[in-house]
Amino acid sequence: MKVSTAILAALAAAWTGSAVAADTPAHGAGAKYETSGDVLKGAPMQQPGAQPGPALTAAEFDKAKQIYFERCAGCHGVLRKGATGKPLTTDITRERGFDALKAFITYGSAAGMPNWGTSGQLTEAEVDLMAKYLLNEPPQPPEFGMEEVRSTWKMVIPPEKRPTKKMNKLDIDNLFSVTLRDSGEIALIDGASKKIVSIIKTGYAVHISRTSASGRYLFVIGRDAKINLIDLWMEKPDTVAEIKIGMEARSVETSKYKGFEDKYAIAGAYWPPQFVIMNGNTLEPIKIVSTRGMTSDKQEYHPEPRVASILGSHFKPEFVVNVKETGQILMVDYSDIKNLRVTTVEAERFLHDGGFDASKRYFLVAANARNKIAVVDTKESKLVKLVDVGNTPHPGRGANFVHPKFGPVWATGHLGDETIALIGTDPKGHPKQAWTKVADLTGQGGGSLFLKTHPKSKNLWVDTTLNPDLDVASSIAVFDIGNLGKPAEVLPIAKWAGITDGAARTVQPEYNKAGDEVWFSVWNAKDKVSAIVVVDDKTRKLKSVIKDARLITPTGKFNLHNTQHDVY
């Protein structure tokens, strides 16, 4: 039976749906949704047997599975247990029914669910198929144990054949590692000349670049869970080892504590839910640890707790591992890998990203679907406090500066509102303000992914990359730290890049080593012109535009010195 458009729209409005899609959100009501490139779409999975849901042929199941992993799994989870988005398990979907599911997929919701049907991204037949698919039990993706991990490990150049001294004239401290999202590469760009030094093949959509403790090596990890170990001492920096630690991932880090510099690396997977500890010089896998377990709130078992961000402690030989769905922060002691000790810190569910305060003792991480920031003391390995902030915080690493009234603070922007929350971080000098939200700044709107300042700067830069208004999304807001009561100045970064074709968005401010320049990615479609825009931090004037045909969908940028020393 055909259901009228008016009824479908009413059903969609009645079902408020999921939280905003933090990994790859919709780009406005009429825009097409960009695929995440999730590699799980091609994973071998058996169709569940006979069940109460609508029957699907093998071909229909395969097509629906691919659509789900391309479009939905990043928010609703591989097993549909929910994450940033709501659960879509069959007890829920069958209660809602086919018509409500179809309406929700077609029209989306104000809470952030993309309008797959009305945007034209899915045909009416595909919407029908996905509604039927959600009434059936989800398939189980394959596991990825030590045998599978080791089979992907490649030693390109063993340590004994690598240079014994730096063989190039590059100022490694002022190199930028720039993610070329859709080409599966990174670009190394010299901070002084603004020239591309090297283009290196990597995994798909590198999520983060991390510099080793010594500064010699660069670790990058793609969303397909592929890690590249890049030797920056080579005449031309390039990959010396690589490995895949799962099927989908977001995080990689190296050991930083004194006596363990460059000894270990760790990476966390979205699927399977686990982290892998490796040799820091070779990427040889040493130990795999599952993160499946109980949630921090209801103490319920969760089969798919994905590893979000990971940082290396400066106070202990520990990795700080944030487990998204359970809300557990794992303090992983790497001083004895064979007899691994893990301290579990109960924080809040749906942990995402975060960074250190200025002292590097306290780690602040967003529990984004719960609108909180968890504060962890890495010296004592314990939770300090949960701080209420705005709607869906997304700090990246956050930003540290000294507030004229409240002293040292750490800042986060939000996906779901226009505020920038400031949290006091000085328990000794400003005990009344410590670990409380002391103030909110008003930015351009929701859709903020990253904000940044520098110890030598008087500015706080805040992007709004995912705002549905393209004029907002393509610009940057900059606040005067000395006069935070003054409204932000808005700079038209994408216009400064001279890009008029496409829907270019400004993302991720990043300082150079000296702290006197801020670099921005102007992120356009892969078949359009993108750019890097460099702004003088003191004058806020355009300083340089980097355009090159090889700069395909540039997103994250990581200055190697600032990344090595956790400067933000």
Residues involved in catalysis: 72, 75-76, 113, 352, 394
Sorted by sequence, the CB contacts under 8 Å of residue 278 that are 6+ apart come out as: 227, 243, 245, 264, 265, 266, 267, 284, 285, 286
Spatial separation of the C-alpha atoms in residues 292 and 325, rounded to whole Å: 9
Q: Which amino acid is at 390?
A: G
Burial of 493 by CB count in 10 Å (0-12 exposed, 13-18 middle, 19+ buried)?
Answer: buried
Of 343, 415, 409, 333, nearest to 376 (Cα)? Answer: 343
Sorted by sequence, the CB contacts under 8 Å of residue 96 that are 6+ apart come out as: 15, 104
For 13-56, strand residue ranges (E) read none
Q: In degrees rounded to 5, what are phi and psi of residue 537?
A: -65, -35
Spatial separation of the C-alpha atoms in residues 37 and 182, rounded to whole Å: 9
CB 216 within 8 A of CB 229: no
Per DSSP, what are the bridge partners of residue 491? 476
For 413-502, strand residue ranges (E) read 419-424, 437-442, 451-452, 459-463, 476-480, 489-491
Q: Which two tokens stand for residue 105?
A: 């997929």
Q: In degrees rounded to 5, what are phi and psi of residue 75?
A: -105, -40
- Compute the half-sphere exposure of residue 133: CA atoms within 13 Å on the CB side of its CA: 25
Which residue is it, tokens 């058996």? 46
